[in-house]
Amino acid sequence: MSPLWGARLLLSLLALAGGVYAIGQATCVEFKSSRSTFSIVSNKRAIPILVSPDEWPGVQRAATDFAADIQRVTGVKPSITNVTTSSSSAVKQGSAIIIGTLGKSSLIDEIVNRTKLDVSSVNGKWESFIAKQVSNPLPGVESAYVIIGADKRGTIFALYDHSEQFGNYTVYPPSWLVTERTLHASGVSPWYWWADVPVTKHAELFVASSGCSHGSPTVKYRGIFLNDEQPALQNWAAEKFTNGTGAPLTGSPFNHFFYTKLFELILRLKGNYLWPAIWSSAFNIDDTENQPLADWWGIVMGTSHQEPMMRGTPIEWNLFGQGDWNYTTNSQNIYNYWVDGVKRARPFESIYTLGMRGAGDC
């Protein structure tokens, strides 16, 4: 267990300016079968993936990425099935991958209880996970590779960590740094979509029976701030994610089609936090699905240095605010504007920026 994620995300950003960084880590993936491995795909067959219907939707979604990643690497797609503790005996699978979050997946809680699996190293620990083979986890399942997160993102990171390890070791190359060496290195790279990093192919895929684990990241919130996004990112997004027209009120192309691609990248990089585009955009106004989907995927949202209390300025203020952006002369209207932002964000995981700069960062 090495708390490297904070450093890795930072280094991946530093890699934009410097060289290519390959960061070693404990591996759980194997490419050759042995007595100490557990088969994920062999003889062109993939073992099924089991999840719990009461699991976080964001974990359910990441499990579909995990299955797609296994297919990207091997050409064989595993099934994903919802299993409850009462229906598990009907599964009748010799072996399975079982994915879930402690305290959120009744399936995983049952398995921990039945097998007396020791989860004390991760239980209650922010974004941590363990994965390992266990015997007789459920009636009808002789053996399973269980992937257990301490919380929503712990489970999601466990899945993406395995996906990356489907190659040799981990690097995060931006497209202009992709070299012969980095191509071999990636399994399913976090950048597979954004930078077209090719996926390493393997006919068969195994994991170490002893599995792998990761503790809490050293840096609690790790993310991306889209800034100076005009014209490059904005024009690209308009071409890629709209049918020629941006959002009705702002003209912004940064809709949920764009953001869900970004959420996936952040999570694959083991990040958790985003400051959205602001130049001619307002995250919640550009697409009303943006904010709920961020939370649903597992991303913590904030707003940038010039946008207090989860509301945009100047774009959103100019649309909905009243009077000047000046707390000396217009405090009640500005206060109410912020209260509305907090009420809107209340159901979601958010970090509030405090303080006030001039409208438009001046």
Ligand X SMILES: *[C@@H]1O[C@H](CO)[C@@H](O)[C@H](O)[C@H]1NC(C)=O
Least Å from the CB of residue 196 to ligand X: 19
> With binding defined as CB under 6 A, does residue 279 bind ligand X?
no
Q: List strand residue ranges (DSSP E) for the chain, in order.
A: 22-23, 29-30, 37-42, 45-46, 49-51, 80-82, 95-101, 129-138, 141-149, 170-171, 205-208, 212-214, 223-225, 273-275, 300-301
> With binding defined as CB under 6 A, does residue 127 bind ligand X?
no
Token pair for 44? 């062109």
> With binding defined as CB under 6 A, does residue 255 bind ligand X?
yes
- Of 2 and 326, the one with the shorter C-beta distance to ligand X is 326
* Rounded Cα gap, residues 337 and 327, in angstroms: 12
Least Å from the CB of residue 115 to ligand X: 11
* Rounded Cα gap, residues 112 and 110, in angstroms: 6
- Of 241 and 273, the one with the shorter C-beta distance to ligand X is 241
Q: Quick check: 160 and 99 in contact, CB under 8 A? A: no
- Of 126 and 257, the one with the shorter C-beta distance to ligand X is 257
> With binding defined as CB under 6 A, does residue 243 bind ligand X?
yes
Which residues from 307-326 bind ligand X, rule CB under 6 A?
A: 326
- Of 9 and 141, the one with the shorter C-beta distance to ligand X is 141
Q: How many residues are present in the chain?
A: 362
Query: Of 144, 135, 96, nearest to 116 (Cα)?
Result: 135
* Rounded Cα gap, residues 76 and 46, in angstroms: 6
- Of 221 and 327, the one with the shorter C-beta distance to ligand X is 327
Least Å from the CB of residue 167 to ligand X: 6
Binding residues with ligand X: total (CB under 6 A): 21
Least Å from the CB of residue 296 to ligand X: 11
How many other C-beta atoms lie within 10 A of the C-beta of residue 250?
19
Which residues from 84-113 bind ligand X, rule CB under 6 A?
A: 109-110, 113
> With binding defined as CB under 6 A, does residue 286 bind ligand X?
no
* Rounded Cα gap, residues 125 and 270, in angstroms: 15
Q: Which residues contact 142 (CB under 8 A, 6 or more apart)?
A: 94, 95, 135, 136
Q: Which of 18, 53, 124, 292 binds ligand X (CB under 6 A)?
A: 53
> With binding defined as CB under 6 A, does residue 27 bind ligand X?
no
> With binding defined as CB under 6 A, does residue 328 bind ligand X?
yes
Q: Quick check: 137 and 144 in contact, CB under 8 A? A: yes
> With binding defined as CB under 6 A, does residue 31 bind ligand X?
yes
Note the residues at the interface with ligand X (CB under 6 A).
31, 53, 60, 80, 82, 109-110, 113, 167-168, 184, 200, 241-243, 255, 257, 326, 328-329, 358
